[in-house]
Structure 1
């Protein structure tokens, strides 16, 4: 499946953005434009330290994340939809562009699914709205009380979106089951059909890759509706659709004692020589419920101070949600 460097025209990239936003595109655009809205990345205190000191946010393989089973669940729903009347509409849209692509889609998706699932790298963030979420989301403080310190990295949406490089798709998560997936696939089918002229000049390999890429990114961004409170977005990179820009950011690291491959989204901090304040992605850090929160908060403040942040104490707060020791 992999090709040396998967490239799209600017027009095709715009279609990717339209497709990725999905049926709730206007709602998601309003969120990104709202100055009281941010992205929150819930992670460990250790990872926050790695992000600041290594000057990068890591996209991790879904096999090493809580979300791995969700990826397989998403693929099952997309396969099911593709075999339905809605799926026929998707194939028809591609047949209007190139009949060879429509014929190839079902078999290519089936044969490549396992490989793609094994080579999927994701960064998950949640919608964060001030002042409602100033303590963080209770559902996202998972595993607190078991000894691991949790921190929410609050990022400015505009600058967080600037982290996107060639080959990355940013998409809101779809919460739901069969009916919601069918509705979304119908929307994507219509977008492809309405912009079919953009893809006519692509060679057949890139057409197939694009058609499969839409389905894969869709499958990776589906979750059960029980998690809707999270309001998650995902940065997705598929090594099967690799680009030179992203492969240059491939790193080997040890996280939580586990050696692994990650893809790094570079950031800069005030201590850097070429730092530009207007690109500052960090709005703040929220320390999750824990014992001795003031002592730990001081440590996070010092981490920011050592990396050039002025008035670092203004960036760090502690959640007021009560700490409960897990029995």
Structure 2
């Protein structure tokens, strides 16, 4: 079993919901879409860079607090036990004090998670959305602006590593009771895979449990938002290796803020990763707006300048009617 197979099996044990979504993304050639304004999409393409923004400036900050709050409640020693003891017992049977060591390490970076988590949000894109996009997303980004979807290929998502400094995770939509139930099922999966887990290097096991806590703290949302089908590109500044990311200060909606910039070019460390615009971009969908034809024409010209040979074929105008 190679390292990738070990990793995928550990994900299936510790994060079964994420494992299913990762399988759908990696094995079925699923696409992702970044819904934004036409103005911002133009900035991304002309600058050939994606910005990761601090969640403190975004709605996602409350979601980080939501995830951390559920973790704190599950592990709280002064609250009624809702599965904590069995969770600790199952994992500590593999390695004594494993859970306590990982929780102590996790507690040490909570400040980074709350204050230094940077993300870019993507949405699962389905074949039936190729020509029209998703109505709820158009509504979210079409208030007073022309909305656009940048549809990207996902061959790079499984290869987001320390070399890039960017990692990916699906968002799980659930309430606290569902989360607690998922956590209560983990001991059974650990015991069912005990022989495998005892053979795994303890550093791998400790790292996976640690990453599980991080993922649950920054990738949970209320189930009412499930139609977003969100994936996140993320970086925790001060915790993750910065990789090829560059820090800069930009003004977003009038608020100067630190951003992390990922250049859309293949770094020399991973020359074949395929994050240049011609390799990464599947299509652009121009959403319902006042001047869709002119906007589409502008994007075609931008893509041509970036070396996209079939630029005109990659720009689509959604026929979803504009409501004013």
Shorter-chain TM-score bucket reads 0.7 to 0.9
The 1:144–1:250 alpha-carbon spacing in structure 2 relative to 1, beyond 3 Å, is closer
Residue 251 (structure 1) aligned with residue 252 (structure 2)? no
CA shift at 1:286, angstroms?
1.1
Residue 80 (structure 1) aligned with residue 79 (structure 2)? no
CA shift at 1:21, angstroms?
5.6
Give the Cα separation in 1 of the matches to 2:309 and 2:240: 38
Correspondence for 2:52: 59
- 101-110 vs 73-82, which moves further: 101-110
Give the Cα separation in 2 of the matches to 1:196 and 1:240: 30
Give the Cα separation in 1 of the matches to 2:115 and 2:68: 13
Q: Deviations over 1:164-203 (max 9, x none)?
A: 1226442221111123212332455566664543665439
Correspondence for 2:294: 295
Query: How large is the Cα RMSD of the aligned pairs?
Result: 3.4
Contact kept, 8 Å, 2:132 with 2:317, in 1: the verdict is: yes
After TM superposition, the score normalised by the length of structure 1 is 0.78
The 1:24–1:293 alpha-carbon spacing in structure 2 relative to 1, beyond 3 Å, is same
CA shift at 1:59, angstroms?
2.3
Correspondence for 1:90: 87
Within a 5 Å distance, the mapping from 1:151-190 to structure 2 comes to 151-162=148-159, 164-166=160-162, 168-186=166-184
The 1:77–1:226 alpha-carbon spacing in structure 2 relative to 1, beyond 3 Å, is same
Contact kept, 8 Å, 1:47 with 1:255, in 2: the verdict is: no
Residue 241 (structure 1) aligned with residue 235 (structure 2)? no
- 13-22 vs 288-297, which moves further: 13-22
After TM superposition, the score normalised by the length of structure 2 is 0.79
Correspondence for 1:33: 27
The 1:29–1:73 alpha-carbon spacing in structure 2 relative to 1, beyond 3 Å, is same
Q: Deviations over 1:109-161 (max 9, x none)?
A: 45643432111122221111112453222222244443333211101122444
Contact kept, 8 Å, 1:55 with 1:267, in 2: the verdict is: yes
Structure 2 unaligned spans of 5+: none
131, 138, 141: which one aligns with 1:141: 138
Structure 1 unaligned spans of 5+: 1-8
